[in-house]
A and B are shown apart, each in its own frame.
Chain A
Amino acid sequence: MLKMNNLCKSFRTELVETHALRNFTFSVEEGDFVSVTGPSGSGKTTFLNIAGLLENHTSGSYLLDGIDVQTLSDKQRSNLRNEKIGFIFQSFNLIPDLDLFDNVDVPLRYRGLSRSERHQRIKESLERVGLANRMKHLPSQLSGGQQQRVAIARALAGKPRFLLADEPTGNLDSQMAKSVMSLLQEINQQGTTIVMVTHDPELAMQTSRNVFVRDGQISEAETILPLAAASNQ
């Protein structure tokens, strides 16, 4: 589903060239729940941005559902993001002056769906995260955990093939983090592939596979063994 082969990403200024990813080879299969861990500055977010088509890589190849994304135009990349990928961010990134309904509506607007289909999808996805009764509330009227649930609903409304989550529990207390993590696991069990960047080894252990990134490369030695895998051994 997602295949990165010898992927490199470097940022260049007049004086310095920084290699964020180096020969990064990585793949995700349908139905995986992969956690990506690593210290700050290791390249996790750069990986996630490239995986989510928010940035271009410098060299190597990246195939998403068999499509070589490097050759796509801005519009094609936008369409691919809209149709195949759902994003969940650490800081929720809800639009403050839109109510929950309109926030979840945002990605659907760019897909050209009919009004009735959009309404149905919004309702379904908000029901799925347990917030269907608060459709007309503004994000500021919700707790952090609820806001992250709205962000998940927004990602789910587009019925993406896979979700990219960047520290989805980073801004939540442990109770709320647990509840969001359960929701992600439930979504994964229903067939959605998830790639989650996290600092938290406990969260990483709850995923089906872990990838540890250091200095822009995958470090096999430091990979966390997920609980499910550990119990099988």
Chain B
Amino acid sequence: MFIYYMKLAIKSIRRNIWLSSLMVLAVALGIGACMTTITVNYMMSANPIPHKSDQLFYVQLDNWGPHFPFNDENEPPDQVTWRDANNLMQHDRFKQVAMGTSGGVIESDNREIKPFMAGIRLTYTTFFNLFEPPFLYGGPWQPTADKNSEQVVVLSKKTNQQVFGGENSVGRTLTIAGNRFRVVGVLDDYEPIPRFYDVTTGAFQSPEDVFMPLTLKLPLELGSSGNNSCWKDPDGDGFEGFLMSECINYQFWVQLDNAAEQEQYMSFLNAYVEEQKALGRFPRPLNNRISSVMEWMEIQEVVADDAQIMMWLAALFLLVCLLNTVGLLLSKYATRTADIALRRAIGAPKQAIFSQYITESALIGIIGGVLGLVLALAGIEAVKSMYGDFVSEHVAIDLTMVTVAIALAVISSVLAGCYPAYKACSVPPATQLRNQ
């Protein structure tokens, strides 16, 4: 019977082409708006490292001032101090990584290439082990490079292209922030979405151009960038004095493979803070925390509030479109009472009439869904202009979203069609036939 109902639905749509077009347009507009915002949210809330997001934990220590918490919710600070980052990294029984950002001018030995400003990620070699960025050439620096503050770098693919024309540059040298560095590795394409390992400077930024040991920061006096927050003035003077202050500017991650390791690590953190309290630091009550990747994305509200608001507004818009569709379906079915009464008289049970009209609603939903996808593509183009380059590169409608769009359109249309279909199948045949 389904094929028969489809055949009748096509005939019905063609019979009332303008009314049907209005319904398709209403569904398409609603779906288009919904899919645009759902796509943006879907991309923003994607798991950037699904195979180990439950094993990677962001570390928070509450070293904030004694009189007020870091924020209203009594959350621990979202970064750690230089001193704590270095102290924790001394304990190599855990797979940990500390990191921060800096910037500097890159100068190629090739004089034809103009110097350019580059973003620098200062970190440890464990960064590459924990987050597994793919390498095009070479690999991470050795742990000894961290210990000995060796001037080695891993370049992004883009930087390697700019400086070395995309060749295998491992072993070659370049100047960064006035210092010579040896290239040990070049990353392949690496664009985690969101850039989960550091969301403090924007979750949807591209990874940095250059990666180098964090232990170089002090000897090379590499400047700090990103968010730097302090609850009191530095005790000491100069670059080192600032580094040793209670200012937070560093991100800290640890890999913990099971619940037992998580428990051990929390004990370790608490013991560390107690030890620091004994030294006169950490005036606040014990408030350390570890959060998995997705928990951290949620805490940091990576999916922008305005994107979520837009999604809900789009859902409301879809609802309005569906209410319009209900009205249009009711008026359409009102013109079909003779047909319905006849079918009922010659043997169609109510359920058959209901199925026939629900099939028609579903067909309108499918057509509306396809048109809605086209509108969503246009909508995404509009959103790209609002969200900038990153969204422009990464937000797109994939197969999942196509499936969701069609399913959403069909479900919505079927729901919208239920009441009109119920009204249609409730037509008393005797009364209608009498009125013919």
Contact = CB atoms under 8 A, between A and B. Distances in A.
A78 B429 CA distance: 11
A89 interface: yes
A78 B333 CA distance: 21
B11 A154 contact: no
Interface in A78-120: 78-79, 81-83, 86-87, 89-91, 93, 95, 97-98, 106-107, 109-111
Contacts of A89: 433, 436
Contacts of B430: 49, 54-55
Nearest to B433: A89
B304 interface: no
A110 B347 contact: yes
B244 to A, nearest CB: 84
A74 interface: yes
Contact of B338 (A49, A86, A93): A93
Interface in B328-365: 338-339, 342-352
24 contacts: A52-B345, A54-B344, A54-B430, A54-B433, A75-B349, A78-B349, A81-B346, A82-B346, A82-B347, A83-B347, A89-B433, A93-B433, A95-B342, A97-B15, A98-B11, A106-B342, A106-B343, A107-B346, A109-B1, A110-B343, A110-B347, A110-B348, A110-B349, A154-B346
Closest 3 CB pairs of A and B: A82-B347, A78-B349, A54-B430
Interface string B1-13: 1001000000100
A87 B432 CA distance: 14
B347 A93 contact: no
Given A54-B430, A93-B342, A110-B352, A79 B347 contact: yes
Contacts of A158: 346-347
Contacts of A81: 345-347
Interface of A: 45, 49, 52, 54-55, 74-75, 78-79, 81-83, 86-87, 89-91, 93, 95, 97-98, 106-107, 109-111, 154-155, 158
A110 B348 CA distance: 6
Contacts of A107: 346-347
B3 to A, nearest CB: 11
Tell me whether chain B's interface is mostly helix, strand or loop, or mixed.
Answer: helix
A81 B351 CA distance: 15
Contact of A78 (B1, B11, B342, B344): B344
Given A81-B345, A87-B346, A109-B1, A75 B433 contact: no
* Residue from the set B338, B343, B430 with the largest chain A CB neighbour count within 10 Å: B430
Given A93-B433, A97-B15, A111 B342 contact: no
Contacts of B428: 55
Contacts, number: 67
Contact of A95 (B339, B352, B429): B339
B434 interface: yes
A89 B430 CA distance: 12
Given A82-B347, A158-B347, A45 B434 contact: yes
A154 B346 CA distance: 9
Contacts of B1: 109
A52 B345 CA distance: 8
Contact of A109 (B4, B345, B350, B429): B4
Contacts of B4: 109
A93 B436 contact: yes
Nearest to B1: A109
Contacts of B15: 97
Contacts of A90: 436
Given A45-B434, A93-B433, A98-B11, A79 B349 contact: yes
A87 B343 contact: no
A54 B345 contact: yes
Interface string B412-436: 0000000000000000111001101
A213 B24 CA distance: 52
A74 B430 CA distance: 14
A52 B342 CA distance: 12
Contacts of B344: 54, 78
Contacts of B346: 81-82, 86-87, 106-107, 110, 154-155, 158
A106 B11 CA distance: 14
Interface string B290-321: 00000000000000000000000000000000
Contacts of B339: 95
A212 B348 CA distance: 32
A95 B339 CA distance: 6
